[in-house]
Structure 1
């Protein structure tokens, strides 16, 4: 797909349901890109928050985006294993050299032993009411939490053994 060539860099933009820009990651390296799946890597990447704060990621990460599923998955490579941070959000779009999605607050943190925790349910409820999420959207998001958890339990996609390691090895070939 044009603009998603392996070896090129892009930004990642997350928005809120009301269209407000939420967070921007600079300089993620494309490892795979087509109309359905984008896999990028980054390490010590500058992140800008909507309130003006900035921070730098602490470890290498492999990020998985899909055009069909309402979640994206970040595999963070740490000394004691791979931790996953999964954002429940809209399927990605690619425009203006950026991967873009709407972040719907619900997150799933997955530990190296594949246990997991659902995070930010309170924040989701506040935003669901404030921004008037339609009932159909609420069902889609909750169904995708269940679907994501099935992926974790089945070791599917980015949770498969060696998925993150193999993509990280590819990332190292570009450095």
Structure 2
């Protein structure tokens, strides 16, 4: 991945397997970018759905993307603690000022008490048939669900104590 510069805003574009645009986050600030990972942050950013409807995120979030793993992680900072929303997705790609990935429907939600919930398996099964996901994709995606669960249990990467807080403090240094 050609790494965008720290401190620059970018758009996040989520696609479906068939190439259709799924969702766009208007502005995420790059906090740290390397060839393999990008850490960004946003707060009350505008989100546009594929049908044109828009909404704003409710709280500050730290976003973690990888060019190697089939997931991305959003740490949402709420009064009740950090809630994680993990999208099972293709590895990300950065081009033309936007971070892009394919959303494969499966999501892992992690609550502040570290309770884990796998979401949207029915949506995944439906889209797998409709969009004719390749045969080996199931194995790749569920393998990465398990890798993600290991990271959560071991409190590594974005799930490490202090990770979200540290990057949120960095984000605040950019704000006016």
- TM normalised by structure 2 equals 0.98
Number of equivalences:
175
Partner of 2:53: 53
Q: Following superposition of structure 1 onto structure 2, how do residues 11-160 of structure 1 map, counting pairs within 5 Å?
A: 11-160=11-160
Q: Secondary structure at the match of 1:104?
A: strand
User: Which runs of 5 or more structure 2 residues have no equivalent in the other structure?
Assistant: none
Structure 1 residue 2, shift from structure 2 partner: 5.5
Q: Using the alignment, how far apart are the partners of 2:49 and 2:83 within structure 1?
A: 22
Aligned Cα root-mean-square deviation (Å): 0.9
- TM normalised by structure 1 equals 0.98
Q: Using the alignment, how far apart are the partners of 2:30 and 2:85 within structure 1?
A: 19
Instruction: Render the CA deviation track for 1:122-145: whole Å, top value 9, x for unaligned.
Output: 000000011111121111001111
Instruction: Render the CA deviation track for 1:22-61: whole Å, top value 9, x for unaligned.
Output: 0000110000012100000000000000011100000000
User: Which runs of 5 or more structure 1 residues have no equivalent in the other structure?
Assistant: none
> Is the 1:3–1:97 Cα contact (8 Å) retained in structure 2?
no
Q: Using the alignment, how far apart are the partners of 2:2 and 2:104 within structure 1?
A: 28
Q: Using the alignment, how far apart are the partners of 1:34 and 1:99 within structure 2?
A: 13
Q: Using the alignment, how far apart are the partners of 1:25 and 1:91 within structure 2?
A: 17
> Is the 1:85–1:110 Cα contact (8 Å) retained in structure 2?
yes
> Is the 1:107–1:118 Cα contact (8 Å) retained in structure 2?
yes
> Is the 1:67–1:93 Cα contact (8 Å) retained in structure 2?
yes
